[in-house]
C-alpha cells in the first residue's frame, strides 16, 4: 500500500480567473505564482485563507487569489487584518503591501501589528519606487534617487524594512527576492508555521520605473559575491567558496576574509535568539540591495500573541462575571453633564 498522499489542490485552484494585469515582466507575477504554488501544497482549506491589501501595484493581489480577500484603503491593510485575525483565530490571514503603502501612510499600522504580535503574515513587496502612480520615489528609494518628483535627486534617507520590523519587536522577520521561487516558497512556509506576526520583505523588480534595482543580488556574477544566505546554526559566510564571513562585535556587523580571522571568529546565526540584537546588526550590513546583503530568516522567536491574551481575558471574564450586559455598560457611571 502506498503512503503517497494525493494533493487536494493544485496551483490552478488558487487562480481566481481574473485577468492578471501588471506590466509585462513585473516581479509581481513571479511572487503570485510562488504564493499560489505554496498554498496548493499547504493543504489548508481555501475557505480559511484571507488576503488583505491596501493601495498599490501589489494590492491587486486579492483579485487574483481564489480565496477570501479584501482590497482596503491606502495603508490600512494591517488594521483590517488585525480585526479579521482577532475575530476568527482559525483563519490564515495574509497582508500584501508595498514599500509605499506599508511604510508611508501605513507605517504606523505596520509597526503596531508587529509589536502586538497579531497572528498575521505580512508580505511587503519592495521595489523602491511608487509604481502605480508612475515612478515617484518611495520610503525605500536610495538617497539621490532621480524621479519625476525628485528631478534633482531625493534628499530623504530610506527606511530599512527589516531593521524597522526588528525594532518593532516582530517575532518573525525574513527577506527574499522575487525571482528565486524556491527560496520564496520556503520563507512563506516558515512564516505560515510561525504563531504570531510574520514580516517578509520581498525584493521585487519594477522593470518600468526602477529596472535592475536588485541586479547586485540577481546578476549571474554579482550575486555570487553579494548574496548572503542566512542559515540557522551555521556561520554566516558567503562569496566564492565561502571565503568571506560576518563578524559581530559590540553590536556592529562587519565583513572579513575567513582566511584572515579564522572560521571560529565568524558569527553563527541564531534565528531563535530571545533578543533581536544580532539579527538587527545583520540587517544593517546593507541599507538596501547594494553590496553584500543578507537573505533568509533573520528572526523566528516565540512570544505570546495579542490574540491568545485576548481570548484568555474574555474566557476569564465569562467565568468570573458571566455574560456581559450591554445595557448596563452603556448606562454605567463615569459620565458627566457639561452645563
Residue 177 falls within a domain, yes or no? yes
Q: In sequence order, which residues have a C-beta less than 8 Å from that of residue 251 and are 6 or more positions away?
A: 277, 280, 281
Whether 124 and 273 share a structural domain: no
Under the banding of pLDDT at 50, 70 and 90, the label for residue 331 is: confident
Over 80: is that where the pLDDT of 262 sits?
yes
Domain range for residue 202?
9-213+304-339
Under the banding of pLDDT at 50, 70 and 90, the label for residue 335 is: low
Whether 200 and 133 share a structural domain: yes
Q: Quick one: pLDDT at residue 6?
A: 65
Whether 149 and 281 share a structural domain: no
Task: Note the pLDDT tens digit of each residue in 43-63.
Answer: 899 999 999 999 999 999 999
Residue 30 falls within a domain, yes or no? yes
3-state secondary structure of 16: coil
Over 50: is that where the pLDDT of 1 sits?
no
User: How does DSSP assign 265-287, residue by residue?
Assistant: GSPBP-TT-SSSHHHHHHHTT-S
Whether 159 and 252 share a structural domain: no
Residue 251 falls within a domain, yes or no? yes
Over 50: is that where the pLDDT of 193 sits?
yes
Query: What is the average pLDDT value for the chain, to the nearest integer?
Result: 94
Q: Quick one: pLDDT at residue 5?
A: 59
Whether 253 and 316 share a structural domain: no
Residue 1 falls within a domain, yes or no? no
Under the banding of pLDDT at 50, 70 and 90, the label for residue 3 is: low
Which H helix or E strand runs over 333? none
Whether 208 and 241 share a structural domain: no
Whether 120 and 204 share a structural domain: yes
Q: Quick one: pLDDT at residue 55?
A: 95
Residue 271 falls within a domain, yes or no? yes
Under the banding of pLDDT at 50, 70 and 90, the label for residue 4 is: low
Q: What angle do CA 299, 11, 48 make, to 5 degrees?
A: 65
Q: Cβ–Cβ contacts within 10 Å for residue 255, how many?
A: 15
Whether 177 and 314 share a structural domain: yes
Over 50: is that where the pLDDT of 111 sits?
yes
Whether 31 and 176 share a structural domain: yes
Whether 173 and 252 share a structural domain: no
Phi-psi label, residue 174: left if phi above 0, alpha if psi -120 to 50, beta otherwise: beta
Which residue did the predictor score with more confidence, 149 or 66? Answer: 66
Task: Write down the pTM of the prediction.
Answer: 0.93
Residue 218 falls within a domain, yes or no? no
Instruction: Return the CATH number at 69.
Output: 3.40.50.970
Last residue of a domain, one of 296, 313, 329: 296
Calculate mean pLDDT across residues 144-173.
95
Residue 44 falls within a domain, yes or no? yes
Residue 27 falls within a domain, yes or no? yes
Over 80: is that where the pLDDT of 333 sits?
no
Q: Number of folded domains in the chain?
A: 2
Whether 181 and 94 share a structural domain: yes
Amino acid at each position: 500500500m502506498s503512503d503517497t498522499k494525493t494533493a487536494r489542490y493544485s496551483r490552478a485552484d488558487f487562480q481566481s480567473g481574473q485577468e492578471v494585469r501588471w506590466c509585462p515582466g513585473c516581479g509581481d507575477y513571479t511572487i503570485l505564482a510562488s504564493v499560489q504554488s505554496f498554498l496548493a501544497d499547504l493543504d489548508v482549506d481555501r475557505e480559511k485563507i484571507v488576503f488583505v491589501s491596501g493601495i498599490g501595484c501589489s494590492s491587486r493581489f486579492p483579485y487574483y487569489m481564489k480565496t477570501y480577500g479584501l482590497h482596503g484603503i491606502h495603508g490600512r491593510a494591517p488594521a483590517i487584518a488585525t480585526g479579521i485575525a482577532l475575530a476568527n483565530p482559525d483563519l490564515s490571514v495574509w497582508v500584501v503591501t508595498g514599500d509605499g503603502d506599508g511604510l508611508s501612510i501605513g507605517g504606523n499600522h505596520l509597526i503596531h501589528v508587529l509589536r502586538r504580535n497579531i497572528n498575521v503574515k505580512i508580505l511587503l513587496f519592495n521595489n523602491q519606487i511608487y509604481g502605480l502612480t508612475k515612478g515617484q520615489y518611495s520610503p525605500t528609494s536610495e538617497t539621490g534617487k532621480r524621479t519625476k518628483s525628485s528631478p534633482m535627486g531625493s534628499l530623504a534617507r530610506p527606511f530599512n524594512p527589516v531593521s524597522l520590523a526588528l525594532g518593532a519587536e516582530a517575532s518573525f522577520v525574513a527577506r527574499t527576492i522575487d525571482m528565486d521561487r524556491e527560496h520564496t516558497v520556503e520563507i512563506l512556509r516558515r512564516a505560515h508555521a510561525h504563531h504570531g506576526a510574520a514580516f517578509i520583505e520581498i525584493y521585487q523588480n519594477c522593470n518600468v520605473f526602477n529596472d535592475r534595482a536588485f541586479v547586485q543580488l540577481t546578476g549571474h556574477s554579482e550575486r555570487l559575491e553579494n548574496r548572503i544566505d542566512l542559515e540557522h546554526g551555521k556561520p554566516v559566510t558567503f562569496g566564492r567558496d565561502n571565503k568571506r564571513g560576518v563578524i559581530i562585535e559590540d553590536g556592529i556587523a562587519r565583513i572579513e576574509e575567513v582566511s584572515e580571522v579564522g572560521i571560529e571568529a565568524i558569527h553563527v546565526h541564531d534565528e531563535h535568539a530571545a533578543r533581536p540584537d544580532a539579527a538587527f546588526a545583520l540587517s544593517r550590513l546593507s541599507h538596501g540591495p547594494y553590496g553584500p546583503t543578507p537573505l533568509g530568516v533573520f528572526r523566528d522567536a516565540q512570544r505570546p500573541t495579542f490574540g491568545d491574551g485576548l481570548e484568555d481575558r474574555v474566557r476569564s471574564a465569562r467565568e468570573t462575571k458571566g455574560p456581559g450586559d450591554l445595557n448596563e455598560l452603556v448606562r454605567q457611571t463615569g459620565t458627566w453633564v457639561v452645563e
